[in-house]
Amino acid sequence: MSALDEFQALTQSIGEYAADLIGRESLAGLRVTFDRRNRSGQISIALNAPSGDEQLRVISCMFEVEQVFKDEAILSYSFVDGIGDEVEARETIRQYSLA
């Protein structure tokens, strides 16, 4: 098993922290895609019960995730129906996926 580089470790940390904060039992899936060129991360969130109240709770969690990683990455997030299998093939993209 190879060691994680800085960006792989950061992507993994963002994903694990977000999943723990939201609650893994609430997630149908979560994907973090990180672009090392501009240090930006996109978090895709699929909820088991995507109600308005649940989305508001998760948005509150995401504010904390953004604060924790504010010095390392620019993060954005979106709610999705599901986490697909498509993967960026570029070397600059790192991913963490929980499904």
Report the DSSP pairing between strands 27-35 and 93-98. antiparallel
Instruction: Look at residue 1 and tell me whether its pLDDT is greater than 50.
Output: no
> What residues contact 69, with CB distance under 8 A and at least 6 apart?
10, 13, 14, 17, 41, 75
pLDDT at 93: 60
Q: Which of 8, 31, 16, 5 is nearest to 68 (CA)?
A: 16
Domains of the chain: 6-98 (3.30.70.2210)
The pLDDT tens digits of the residues spanning 33-54 come to: 998 889 999 999 999 999 999 9
Q: How confident is the model at residue 97 (pLDDT cuts 50, 70, 90)?
A: confident
**SS3 breakdown of the chain: % helix, strand, coil, rounded to 5?**
35, 30, 35
Tell me the whole-structure pTM to 2 decimals: 0.82
